[in-house]
Amino acid sequence: MDLTLHLAQDAGADELLGRSPLAALTGMLLDQQVPMEWAFKGPRTIADRLGADDLDAHDIAAMDPEAFSALLSEKPAVHRYPGSMAKRIQQLCQYLVEHYDGNAELVWKGVDDGRELLQRLQDLPGFGKQKAQIFLALLGKQLGVRPEGWREAAGSYGDAGSYRSVADITGPESLTKVRAFKQEMKAAAKAAKSAKPAKTTKPAKTTKTAKSAGK
């Protein structure tokens, strides 16, 4: 990997994302409950605080959990929930060390089937199906990783010309479109929830004692 991404909208952060598979995975892991730019700037911030030019799965996996949590919690915090995300990042790195010798790129390198790659991504700690599909779409659309059937495996996130996720962000204009799409989805979900009829409370059953008392 050595490509230009525009997910963090920050030159230094995006440069790291484009050349570091682990940074890209970490940014994707952080992308929840915070703005996308904040999440994908996280890997650069972590690397800077570690005094490194890149993230190293072996080093992070072996760090003292409290020390790593404190590193993410320094102001400005890497995430809204730095403690829980520090734990998840370490779990991800420990998994990569155990299964891929710490080399994040081996998650997808040489995989020639989209469904297999999706499963590999879903097996990563902190990656559910949706997050795995979005990252698969990012690999295919921007990082040149296109095993057979990758678009189908990525679901709607793999659609060409869509603006559904970080996989479609290539600059400020597309970021605005993706954010608008997410807001539309949230509004639709909220409307659907409010349209559901309220649950009616069934009257309590009358006990035999109560019936006989009324005679």
Residue 63 pLDDT > 60:
yes
Instruction: Name residues whose C-beta falls within 8 Å of residue 33's C-beta, 6 or more positions apart in sequence.
Output: 79, 80, 81
Mean pLDDT of all residues in 131-158: 96
pLDDT band of 175, cuts 50, 70, 90: confident
Whether pLDDT at 193 is above 90 = no
